[in-house]
Structure 1
Amino acid sequence: MLLTDIVGVEDFGGDMDFKVAGTKNGITAIQLDMKVDGIGDEIVKGALDRAKVARAMILEKMHAVIAASRPALSQYAPKVQMVKIPVERIGEIIGPGGKIIRQIQTITGAVVDVKDDGSVFVTSVKQEAVDKAVAWIEGITHEVKAGEEYEGEVKRMMAFGAFVEILPGKEGLVHVSQMSTGFVQNPSDVVALGQKVKVRVIEIDDQGRVNLSMLFGDDAAKVPPREQSDRPRRPFNRGPRRY
């Protein structure tokens, strides 16, 4: 006897459990568990025929309720996104004692799970939280290159320039000489804390520091030379050394 159901009672009282999943176009998955030594072709054919009829009926009921997939997940459904990073960069995401990953989770509200193979799973009920955490992670692991352009935020001001965050957790310096084609006495004359500015990377120095410019196109060629220090220089020839 073949019994068609979707509640699973055959798991306890039957000789086999034959699950068939699919669409109106055909079968997509099969699972067969048996408590007997084997089954014949007729039973297999009969089970597949019954499954086709049952599947068509269930799909018809489903289609009557929702004819197509929703364009987006429910606001209550968890959102998951996977980011792949180089294994050697995992430590940068974790941070000393887990400082960085805790900071990402606290500020964005997303859960970040880092695997040993470099797979990073970001989960949250809110898509915005996932997007922020993913952007942060990608910013940490992105290799900044000369010539790239960013819209960043002024985070710190110094007498010689302003530090602009171009990626989450990654800043570069815009020297006063790279803020305008004219002379800039004080960075606050051009920018303010929290201001969004467009910058380009002009170099990565030998210490890995990012140097930025707010000048583009023809203006970049008009950069005035940096002011020399007013401190008098010592003469090169200091005379013979005394021991």
Structure 2
Amino acid sequence: MSHGTIRESWPRWQWAWGAISAWGGAEQTRLRFAALVHDIGNVAIPLRILEKGDNRSASEWEYYRLHSYYTQRVLERVEPLQELAPAAAAAHEWINGQGYHRQLTGEQIPLHGRVLAVADTYAQLTQQQGDQVEPADALRKMRPLVGTQFDGSCYEALAASLTSAYHVKRIVPRRRQLGDPSLRSGQALTEREAELLRLLAQGQSNPQIAKTLVISRKTVEHHLEHIYNKIGVTCRTSAVVYAVQHGIA
């Protein structure tokens, strides 16, 4: 987001992540705070470069992109903010590895960072075009970047929830019975699978899940394979979206 626009576009940020994320409690709070500080590294960038916007030279763009690095450094040095660093510093990463500052790809990018990337662009588009912009117009501009810049699941969650220019319908978790026949394989998630999916949605890695459930990493991978097959997804991000939408998270 360009210098000085966070406060002005705050309502649009709320719409964006409200549409993408149905996390509650601590996760939603962490996402909000990460959004607020994701460009704090701009303090290390000369004002003359910040104010040039799209008119920066190639060398100035290279310098400007260091602000994500400085964001990470600043947050890591302040103990209460350390947990925000991974997501905030990843807000400008692209799924195809062409973002900055670490050039992460795919699921190397923290889920919160992928959410912020979509929310940031949506907020910028609506901020730049004024109060009468239709969310559908912003989404149409973003759509070609799915799979290169944006995580597809995060984009689709936003697109599904934006219902009018000034209204975002939250993805409300709909609790289903574990035996719901709508599961792709027609099989119910076991209690252990549901528990594992819940931990996955909380952002735990495979080793962390294994430690929490006191099982091996291979067992975690085995469970995930079965879960993905049952709910009809192929990656962690889609599994998290499913868990949130169906009240498992």
* The two structures share one fold, judged by TM-score above 0.5: no
TM-score interval w.r.t. the shorter chain? under 0.3
Q: Write 1 or 2 for the structure with the bigger share of helix.
A: 2
Q: Write 1 or 2 for the structure with the bigger share of strand.
A: 1
Give TM-score scaled by structure 2 length: 0.24
In terms of Rg, which structure is larger?
Answer: 1
Give TM-score scaled by structure 1 length: 0.25
Structure with bigger RCO (C-alpha 8 Å, 6+ apart): 2
